[in-house]
Amino acid sequence: MSFLQSYTDLVDFSQKSLLLSACAIAFNPTAWNIVARREYRTRFLTKFFGSGQAACYFLAITIFSLGLVRDFLYERALRAQPSHPLLEGTIPTFAGYALLACGNILVISSTWQLGITGTFLGDYCGILMDDIVTGFPFNITNAPMYYGSTMSFLGTALLYGKPAGILITAEVLLVYLIAIQYENPFTAGIYAKREQERAKAGGKKVEAKKEL
């Protein structure tokens, strides 16, 4: 058996469903980051829908819908891929369910903490949170939704017993790590700007009182 054949036994790269799944995974965070940054700079969604809240809910529906499509394509891709004996059996199955449970806990609890607007890029639409969330799951990781989603991808791969799922999970993690490098500094800049504006407003109030 050749080197290429051994890899083909693990992952069937000839399946178009695998490529579609990989493209959807890369597309989603790229798209919502581009749209959200444009919204922050131009307020084009706010102007179109009439308010920042409506713009944020539009982003929420869009991101959630894209996520459903991505998950559908991932599940479809796994069905067309070869299984492997090492990923079948009691231990991989239990590990898969455990990863899915932990992943969903991270995703759901972070959504609960942030709310809809905090979860779906409300700060890009001018809807800023009053304080930084430090409770669970943000006391474990600064990106619980991304890591929780990655765990769910891996858990699904184990439940299906598909090596291709592990490969796609690696792509998911890579894409999310890149997204974090872009999102975190940008979001921090939004809140830093707000603090600067508050500081300036506070200084003006103090000066006004002195004049009185």
pLDDT digits (tens, 9 = 90+) for 72-97: 999 999 999 999 999 999 999 999 99
Is 102 labelled as part of a ligand binding site? Answer: yes
The mean pLDDT value for 22-42 works out to: 96
Single pTM value for the model = 0.89
Binding site annotation covers 28? no
The per-residue pLDDT for range 119-172, each reduced to its tens digit, is: 999 999 999 988 888 899 999 999 999 999 999 999 999 999 999 999 999 999
Q: What is the pLDDT of residue 101?
A: 98
pLDDT tens per residue across span 192-212:
898 888 888 766 655 555 555
Question: At how many degrees (to 10) do helices 90-119 and 52-79 cross?
Answer: 160
DSSP string of 147-173, one letter each residue:
HHHHHHHHHHHHHHT-HHHHHHHHHHH
Mean pLDDT for all residues in the chain: 91
Q: Is 207 annotated as a binding residue?
A: no
C-alpha dist (Å) from residue 41 to 36, 183, 208 = 9, 15, 32
Q: Is 184 flagged in the annotation as binding?
A: yes
104 is known to lie in a ligand binding site: no
DSSP 98-120: HHHHHHHHHHHHHHHHHHHHHHT
Residue 201, pLDDT score: 75
